Structure 1
Amino acid sequence: MKKAILLFASVLAAFAAEAQTKLLFEEKTAEAYLLKYGSGASGSSQAQLNSIINTLTENQVTTRNRRPPRKPEFALRFEQQAQITDVGDVLQLTVQVGKPQISGSTEYRDFNLADALLPDKYKARVKLLNAKNEVVSTYDRTVVLKPKGVALLQEQIPDTAVNQHYKLQVEQGQVEFTAEDVKQLQERMALVRAYFTADAKVLQALQDAAHVLPDDVDRLPLQERRLRELEELYAELRKENYTEKLQLKAQDPQRLNYKLTQLQQVLQERRKAIDYILATLDQQFYNRGVSLINNGNVSAAQVYFAKSAEANPNFAPAHVQLARIDLRNGYIREATNRTRDVLTRMRVDPQTEQLALGLAHDIYAAHITEGQKFTSRGEYESALDTYAAARDLCSTIGGLRCSMQVLNDGEARAATGMYHLMVDNGKRLLARNNLAEAERVAREALDFQKAYDYALPHTTEANELLGQVKFQYYVRFIDEGKRFLAQQNHREALSQFEEALALEQGYTFRPVQELRQLSQKAAKPVLLAMLTQGYEQAMQNRLSLARQTASDATAMQERFALVQDPEVLSKYKLLRERIFTQECVNTQAAYDRHLQQAQTLAREKKFISAEQAYGAAIKAAGEKPECSVATFTAEDGIAAIAAAAAYQRKLEEADRLIARSKYGEAVMRYEEAKSLYLAQQVNKYGLDHISLYNFAKDHQRQPFTAAVVGYYANQGEEEVAVQLLALLLEKGYRTGKTKKVQQQLGKQLAQKDVQQGQLLDARVLSAKYSQHNRNLKKLEKAYEKERRRLAKS
């Protein structure tokens, strides 16, 4: 029912609108313009049209029957409709340009250029005439032509009863071409040419795609690169969007869309195949290698197995095949390393693991065989390297069964041969008196013996060789020492004899008996020179060096049996005495320095520091009691300033307590300092004592000043406390923190006044005590309250 009512209302509204709108005038005319080359005409529009005609001529544009005209020309046709409509109190004037159409020379390579040849502008004059054909109004209009039509005129004039026979007349109509029209045509023709270029590219791409071979694994990177280039080309062609720009769904002379779809399918197929090959490239190369090795082409198979391992370094089957080929070609070390990697580093399937273990056993056997060959040829070092590689293979690969007895026996034979070879070489070097090289070889032989102790447990040749070398050094050192001794170069002679003595203690060869006497003979002048140098060091107050020299001299006396030598003893005694004398001189100087510093500090009234300096002087003297430095001056100095130092210490203790916020203890310590000052007459030292009141009123720590106020209150010095409290509050100290002390002071002052029989009014007295200070209101109230309480009692 509701829908029926709505439909009825809509119909009524339509009828009402039609009754209000009345068509007064309507005229339809067909307009046609022949557009061709004009040589005599002038104006910008004709020049642009001529440029368009020339462009059509140059590009051989044809008509629909494919005939190229001598000079291209085309026609513009459209329907022009003029209407006057009465819409109530106004008249609606409308001139509509219908859908414009272009015909004539518009075909370019099977594409119609009509849309691109549409003039940019159309202008005309519209006249409004009355019943007498008199011009009422004139309208000059210029519009942009559009394929779907455009309104040339839309105007409204007042409706009058006497003017019901209006009509519209359109005249002086003309089209105009602009530079934008020329550009539009050129862009459309360039787009058509690009379309044919794209078609050629697609055809070529289809041919190139046919040559992309996924099975060509040897040149797969090249195939993949070609495919990627074709994919990029396809993406670029799709990006050009010829379907929309040239409306290929309606007209596609070269079937470009179809060919692009074909190209897309081919590329997708090739991409899928290549991606699969790339994902399984290691297996592809491996299968090719297996095929080649089955056909007997080992060298070519090795190339493909290497490619498989390169494509996937963890593809174990390829590494096993490469290791087997290396073993076959005699590259045992390479086969060993690759097999070990397979079995210790890679994840392998059971079949590959069995193949690798079998290969490892073959490699182990090859090592043993090669080691035996090296040993038989006397190439012991190579044999040991081979046996070591076999032992390492056995220890690192689990599941590999090795014959350790065979390995140990072969390694022992090679080690024995290598050891004797080294010793023989050392003996030849010793025979040629090349001691440095002989010693090096002997030590290498000893190290080798330790490394292979299980094979060389009781051999002594290397140790004997080293002893023989050291004996030659021993004899050489003694001979050199004698030569220096003859030249009176005792220091160098002693150095040579000491080298010989060190060798004598380190080795078991028979010693030369005269070495002790020779070393003693060379040592005595050196020792005497050392003692003389130590004495000079002590004289120069270089006591640490002198003491070290004395210590070194003592050790040298014992080492070379010169302890009882009279000349040495005399010089050593002089050195010790000089050291002692200089130490006492230094002790006295240290005492005097501290004493002088203490006296200076005392004069500056720094009595604590002076007392410490006196103590340092006494301590310095006490470190060397054998020097008997007199300390009575320092002791008397300490006694003389004891009272002043004690007084200053009390003040310092008070400052430390204040810094730690222990204000009560600080006040007591300050008062103790005052008592000491008075009792000990500290003023005689030139020190002035500042009263607690003055000390507190200017102190930076206000809580300390507040504590002093409380102290004076507790001592019954109420007026002093009130005066100090007022000063504290003037400095901004919070009144709330002084509530208790104000109440205490008020009560105490009231009690004193009552005891003394003070008869003045309580308010007068409280104001007197507070000096009308608003910050002391609590004191006034406490005073007045206490007076009232005492009056009642």
Structure 2
Amino acid sequence: MKKIFVLIVLFSVLYAKIGFSQNLIVFEQTKNESYLFKNSNTPTQSQIISNFFIQEIAKSIPKIISYTQYTYSYDQSLRIIKEQNGNYTATVELKNGICAGDINFKGYSVAECLIPSKIDFKVTVQNDAGLTIKTFVINQVPVKTQYAKIAEFKFNDTVQNPKYKLIVENKNFYYDNVAKEVFEKKISLIHDYYASDMQMGNGFEKIQSMNLDNIDLIPLYSIKIKEVQQLIEMLNSKHFAQNLNLIAFDPIKFQDKFMDLNQKTNNLAAVINQLMATLDQVYYKRGLEYLVNGDVDKSIYYFNKSIEVNPFFAPSHLQLAKIEFSEGNLDKSGKILKTILVQMNPDPTTYNLVIQLCNSIYFSYIGNGEKMIGLEKFNEALTEYAKAKDFCNTTPGIVCNDALGKGIARAKYGIYNSFLTVAKRSFESSELELAEHYTMEAKNFQKANNNDIFSCSEADALLSQLADAYTTKGLNLNNQNNFEKALTNFTKAFGLCQSSTNLVCSEKLKNGNKVAKIGYFKTMLASAKESLQQNNLLKAEELINKAKAYQTANSEDITSVLDANDILAQIKYQYYLQFIHEGSQFVAYQQFETALGKLELARDLENNYTFKKAKNLDSLFQVAAKPIIIENIKKGNIKVWGKDIEGAKTILNNAISQQSKYVLTEDKDISKAITELKGKIFSQECFMAQEDYDKFYAKAQQAVNIKKFIEAETNYDAAIKVASDFVSCSISAQNSTDNKFKYITAITYQKLLLETEKVLKNENYSQTLEKFNAADKYYYQNEIKKFEIGNIQLFDFIKGQNNQNFISYCVNYYTENKNYNEALSLLKILKDRNYPQNYSKGYQEKLGQEMAIKDKSENALADPKENLTRYISGDKWFKYFNKAYTKAWKSKK
């Protein structure tokens, strides 16, 4: 066994050596080559980017473009390896690529960006006789800096021990857009490096320009120092030191300047940040300095600046309140102090100073009020006390004292007394209305301030005097028969004496007022009578109505209306005569409608009043009414002609009514016209009734022709009803009655089908089938076929419905009645109509069970699978049927 293992190992080693020895290098060559890049005046597509590189480098040196160039040097390795069976593999490799020449941009090497991206070339395989064996043209091969296998290909040659060589020619190195982006990024970095010198210079200038003693500019300095910090952060992100190797070459001394700028910026930023954190206090201290030196405007400026920085810095608010107080602006000062106490949380020292100043403001308001009282400026005093009250009620820590209440009471009484003083002076000057105004002002003021002014007896006494004065003035006017003005004065007197429970209206006032009302009423009656005598009926009627309304409103004082009613009756009588006269004139002008209107107005007055009646009124009515009635009857005839029977009847009835109303029943012309209109209406009505009858009968016959017997019955009934409604027209309905009887069985059959449809809509499926079967039975019993009506079969009726629930119900119906083929057909219809499979589960199982039992009973030797194939053809929708059929077949013995 060990010997066999040793032999196997030796054989394996020998085979491996033989296989290795078969791969021989038949050609190998390595040499250094260079490729020159320079500007092309007519560049090809592959030279566009290299031209761009040359142009940018030339500009940066600076150097003439045509003299600017660089080379790409590399080691090229060529190799051909022989494999088994005449197969060869050739490879071309490039190594150790570097660029030389004009490779600096503004002093910095960009050589790593100038390594070509790709190469196009041709490779030829020749034998030792110089004959070409294979040629390969290869394009767009990526080039790498250190190593790139740019070609590898295989060829076959059966010549024994041949010699080959590789020739690489037509090399074209070029760049892609990625190389261009890398180059642009590098030169952009170099541009940024040189630009940073000016940027850092600007940064140094910003730092040196900052004077921290100028506290107004500290917020601006905070912004500027952040700008310098952003500049430092931006420059740091460029990584100039690493990307440009500034240790080797740093012409602008970037690293030293950057470190210096960074250190100075950080130191200054720390100071500015500290000032910004306490800027409210900085501005506050500067404000105090100006305040001590007497520059109030400057101090206000800095206190407000402090508040802008920190709206809740209480010391600055307090100083502004002190300044307002010192200038006498109590309201502004108090408002500031309330803001401190309500919205802020001042330190104990500041809080105590605030309370002290609040007390000073409160007592200043009180002092101002006292001063105004001394000057008898009571409204101004009350204003000052109101400010004091509002201040002490709304300011935390301040309490209202007794001096405030007493001062308010004194000020209010001063105002009350001022009103009475003016009122008394006006009364003494007989200016009663002015005296009344100020007295009422005093009473109203006392009522509104009764907690401070307890009594209005002085005002009531003055009102009593005023009421007496108005009463006296009214009595004098009564004596002059100037009752309207007298009433005005009595009304004022009543208003005054009724304005207070402490006053009583005098009997003299009451009597004088009654006399004035009666006198005023009689004046209105006299004016109405005067207008009547002047035949100015409109004015007379207006005045008498006004007088009657006045009497109604004052019936306790004016009890009699006989005179007013008598004058009104005289006015209405004149209207009565006027309407009759105008009516007779319009009759003469043959304007009968207008005349009748005027006469109707006269008749209304005659019915409502008892004055003497005119003898000619009835005859005028008859003369005016007859032409109107005749004309209306003519219009009725036109309506008959136009078949507007209802309109004609309305005119006829109106004519009969007017004939009676205006006592024209004996008028032969009117009676004849009415009789003729009645006859025309009757004739036209019968003619139209016959037309309607014929129309309904024709529709019934048309319905019979298209086998719509229910519609025919409806029209026969309508025709019969027309004949019944117009009995006097003697319309024969025999043909309709006969035909309805003739087609009654067809009508009944179609009604049974219609009832079936109605029951189906109500989803009563069992009753639907009962109704349909009853119709089907009726069809055969009554030989409906003779009417050429086809009888639809139940199955066709069911499948013609869109109601899937009804169809599924009928599956069960047919199953229960052992009509299995129809049941299965309906299931197939449900399946075709996308009926949900799960909804049919019960029906499928029941049908499958019963069909299996039936089939096995008829032929127990049959193959159930063949039966199922015949029934459902393997359709998966019938899976419940399939399963139930198979199970029942197996269970059936």
Q: Do Structure 1 and Structure 2 share a fold, with TM-score over 0.5?
A: yes
State the secondary structure of the residue aligned to 2:551.
Answer: helix
Q: Name the structure 1 match of 2:154.
A: 156
* Match 1:30 to one of 32, 35, 39: 32
Q: Summarize the alignment of residues 442-521 of structure 1 with structure 2, pairs less than 5 Å apart.
A: 443-458=440-455, 496-508=485-497, 520-521=518-519
| Matched residue, 1:390 | 388
Aligned-pair distance for 1:503?
Answer: 0.8
The superposition leaves residues 451-497 of structure 1 with CA deviations (integer Å, 9 ceiling, x where unpaired) of: 443443335666677788899999999999999x8xxxxxxx76544
How far is 1:130 from its partner? 0.9
1:28 Cα deviation after fit: 0.7
Bigger drift between 144-153 and 26-35 goes to 144-153
SS of residue paired to 1:458: coil
CA distance in structure 2 between the partners assigned to 1:380 and 1:247 by the alignment = 91
* Counterpart selection for 1:78 from 71, 74, 78: 74
Counterpart AA for 1:32: S
- Give the conservation status (yes or no) of the 8 Å contact 1:528–1:571: no
The residue identity in structure 2 corresponding to 1:83 is: R
| Conservation of the 8 A alpha-carbon contact between 2:467 and 2:494 | no
After superposition, the C-alpha distances for 1:174-230 in whole angstroms (9 at most, x for unaligned) are 767999999986775454223211343245335535766899763344234334544
The residue identity in structure 2 corresponding to 1:86 is: K
Query: Tell me, what secondary structure is at the counterpart of 2:162?
Result: coil
Aligned ranges for residues 25-104 of structure 1 at < 5 Å?
A: 25-33=27-35, 56-60=57-61, 73-88=69-84, 90-104=87-101
2:492 is paired with a residue whose SS is helix
Q: C-alpha separation between the residues in 1 aligned to 2:425 and 2:369?
A: 27
Give 1:362-373 correspondences, 5 Å limit. Answer: 362-373=360-371
Aligned positions of 1:216-615 closer than 5 A = 218-230=216-228, 233=231, 282=280, 285-286=283-284, 300-346=298-344, 353-404=351-402, 406-424=403-421, 443-458=440-455, 496-508=485-497, 520-527=518-525, 552-555=549-552, 558=555, 561=558, 563-564=559-560, 567-571=563-567, 582=604
Deviation at 1:29, TM superposition (A): 0.8
Note if contact 1:24-1:165 (Cα within 8 Å) is conserved in structure 2.
yes
* 2:754 equivalent to 1:733: no
Tell me what 1:7 maps to.
none
How far has the Cα of 1:27 moved from its partner? 0.6
Tell whether the 8 Å contact from 1:102 to 1:115 is kept in structure 2 after alignment: yes
Query: 1:360 touches 1:400 (CA, 8 Å); kept in 2?
Result: yes
1:29 maps to a residue whose letter is K
- Structure 1 residue 305, shift from structure 2 partner: 3.5
CA–CA distance in structure 2, aligned partners of residues 453 and 444 of structure 1: 14
Q: 1:442 to 1:315 in 2, by over 3 A?
A: farther
- Inter-partner Cα distance in structure 1 for 2:94 and 2:189: 29
Q: CA deviation at 1:366?
A: 1.9
The two structures have a TM-score, normalised by structure 2, of 0.54
**In structure 2, how many angstroms separate the alpha carbons of the residues matched to 1:482 and 1:160?**
163
Q: Which residue of 1 aligns with 2:831?
A: none
Go from structure 1 to structure 2 and tell me whether the alpha carbon gap of 1:121 and 1:723 turns closer, same or farther (over 3 Å shift). Answer: closer
Which string of whole-angstrom CA distances, capped at 9 and with x for unpartnered residues, describes residues 128-172 of structure 1?
221223333445556565534544543321143425311113456
Deviation (angstroms), 1:244: 9.2
Cα distance in structure 2, aligned partners of 1:111 and 1:13: 59
Question: 2:417 and 2:18 mapped to 1: Cα distance?
Answer: 133
1:768 aligns with 2:781: yes
* RMSD value, Cα: 6.5
The separation in 2 between residues aligned to 1:24 and 1:460, in whole angstroms, is 145
**What do the CA deviations read for 1:79-128 (whole angstroms, capped 9, x no partner)?**
11111123445322222232321223333333102234456776655432
For 2:192, what is the secondary structure of its paired residue?
helix
Q: SS at the partner of 2:358?
A: helix
Alignment-mate amino acid for residue 76 of structure 2: Q
Residue 722 of structure 1 contacts residue 745 of structure 1 at CA under 8 Å; is this kept in 2? no
Q: Secondary structure at the match of 1:558?
A: coil
Return closer, same or farther for 1:584/1:520 CA change in 2, 3 Å cut-off: closer
**Which protein, 1 or 2, shows the higher relative CO under an 8 Å CA cutoff with sep ≥ 6?**
1
State how far apart, in whole Å, the 2-side matches of 1:269 and 1:442 are: 81
Query: Aligned equivalents of 1:356 and 1:257: distance in 2?
Result: 58
CA–CA distance in 1 between the matches of 2:746 and 2:35? 119
Shift of 1:380: 2.8
How much does 1:333 deviate? 1.2
Moved more, 360-369 or 258-267: 258-267
- Amino acid in the other structure paired with 2:751: L
2:96 match: secondary structure:
coil
User: What letter corresponds to residue 504 of structure 1 in structure 2?
Assistant: A
Change (3 A) 1:289 1:13: farther
Aligned equivalent of 1:108, options 79, 96, 105: 105
Aligned CA distance change for structure 1 residues 13 and 101 (closer, same or farther; 3 Å): farther
Measured after TM superposition, the shift of residue 570 of structure 1 is: 1.9
Contact 2:779–2:791 (CA under 8 A) maintained in structure 1: no
Give the TM-score normalised by the residue count of structure 1: 0.59
User: For residues 282-303 of structure 1, what are the alpha-carbon distances to aligned partners after superposition, in whole Å with 9 as ceiling and x for unaligned?
Assistant: 5554566567768887665544
Q: Does structure 1 retain, via aligned residues, the 8 Å contact 2:93–2:149?
A: yes
**Paired residues, number:** 629
Judge conservation of contact 1:368–1:386 (CA < 8 Å) in 2.
yes
Whether 1:129 aligns to 2:126 is: yes
* Counterpart secondary structure, 2:30: strand
1:523-551: CA deviation from partner (whole Å, max 9, x where unpaired): 434346679999xxxx99xx9x9998686
Q: Letter of the aligned partner of 2:400 in structure 1?
A: C
More deviation, 123-132/723-732? 723-732
1:198 and 2:199 aligned: no
| 1:402-461 residue CA offsets vs partner (Å, 9 max, x unmatched) | 322x11222233333344445555667788998887766555444443344344333566
**Are the counterparts in 1 of residues 207 and 265 from structure 2 also a CA contact under 8 Å?**
yes
Letter in 1 for 2:158: T
3-state secondary structure, aligned to 2:359 = helix
Q: Give identity over the alignment, percent.
A: 22
Aligned-pair CA distance for 1:342 = 3.4
Secondary structure in 2 matching 1:81: strand
Change (3 A) 1:411 1:746: closer
CA distance in 1, matches of 2:15, 2:429: 136
Alpha-carbon distance in 2 for matches of 1:274, 1:687: 121
| Distance change >3 Å, CA 319–CA 138, structure 1 → 2 | same
Mean CA deviation greater in 361-370 or 136-145: 136-145
CA contact (8 A) 2:24 2:81 kept: yes
Q: Secondary structure at the match of 1:99?
A: strand
What amino acid maps onto 1:507 in structure 2? L
Tell me the amino acid that sits aligned with residue 571 of structure 1.
I
* Contact preservation (8 Å) 2:745, 2:784: no
Q: Residues 82 and 258 from structure 1, CA distance in 2 versus in 1: closer, same or farther, beyond 3 angstroms?
A: farther
Cα distance, 1:50–1:409 mapped onto 2, change above 3 Å:
closer
Aligned residue for 1:552, secondary structure, equals helix
